[in-house]
Amino acid sequence: MSTNVAEWGGAKSAARSRQILTLRGVTLLFGGVTAISDIDLDVAEGEIRAIIGPNGAGKSSLINVISGVYRPDRGTIAIGDTVFADVPGSRVARLGIARTYQNLALFKGLTVLENVETGRAATVSSTFIEQVIGIGRARREEADTRARSEAVVDALHLMSVRDRLVGTLPYGVQKRVELARALVSEPRLLLLDEPMAGMTAGEKQEMAGFVLAARDRFNASIVLIEHDIGVVMGLSDRIAVLDYGRKIADGTPDAVRADQRVIDAYLGVAHDDDIIEESHV
């Protein structure tokens, strides 16, 4: 099946002046230990915005604050024009935010298509009784979910494994399924937490193309955490660099590449407090 995802995905924004995400002074503590400190960050509409840094620098903690998993101790987060002291986790999907995880969070006993369909759960407005009986808006929502899920599965080249159980698929394909599940909710803001971790060079190249498609064909602004610096430099419009929970650089790939503070951070060893962040992810 070949579906034109542009019919509902939208096109790449010509202008990137409107901020879809704005963080001001965001600080997060774990038992008195600072995970992230006084972070200012903005993401423009239609932008791929990378966050990089050594292990334990606070990258995943920051993603968890944006997605409502953690409540910051100080600072504000604005999604579009709405400002929060902490993002309500129960409203994340309604706010137009979707994410993937470092560790796969798929239903291994469901098929690829069924997993992708779960990404539409937050959009359902029909009652449980309507869904059981299969009438009215429940039937319309089911048909809409299936059509949109099929479109994303096709766009991410997953049609050949559409009916396979996710648990039987190679790791790289499972990562693609997780991206599809995030995209099917039609997010304004897509948070990708190490989407290429554990992939081969060829799989990374393919996934990089899908990340671009998430922006250009599905109209999602993207926050990207990724350890492969070559991939980050090639994909990103702007890059923020964290070290020990603080932002030490922020700018275009060329500017960040030449920043001595970034060079020093990446020449150093992993931080002693890596366990702080990893134990909370």
d(CA 205, CA 207): 5
d(CA 144, CA 146): 5
Give the gyration radius of the chain's Cα atoms. Answer: 19
Per-residue model confidence (pLDDT) at position 175: 94
Per-residue model confidence (pLDDT) at position 143: 82
pTM of the entire predicted model: 0.83
Per-residue model confidence (pLDDT) at position 162: 96
Q: Which domains does the chain have, with CATH numbers?
A: 18-96+192-208+219-281 (3.40.50.300), 101-186 (3.40.50.300)
Assigned token pair, 56? 């334990």
The DSSP output letter for 41 is E
Per-residue model confidence (pLDDT) at position 123: 63
Give the number of other CB atoms < 10 A from CB of residue 103.
8
Assigned token pair, 16? 């990137």
Per-residue pLDDT tens, the chain, 281 aa: give them. Answer: 333 333 333 333 334 568 999 999 999 999 889 999 999 999 999 999 999 998 889 999 999 999 999 999 999 999 998 999 889 887 888 899 999 988 888 999 999 999 999 998 776 554 444 454 555 665 676 788 899 999 999 999 999 999 999 999 999 999 999 999 999 999 999 999 999 988 999 999 999 999 999 999 999 999 999 989 889 999 999 999 999 999 999 999 999 988 988 888 775 544 444 434 444 43
Quick check: helix, strand or coil at residue 278?
A: helix
Nearest to 72, CA basis, from 120, 38, 115: 38
CA distances from 159 to 3, 67, 164, 244, 245 (A): 11, 30, 10, 42, 41
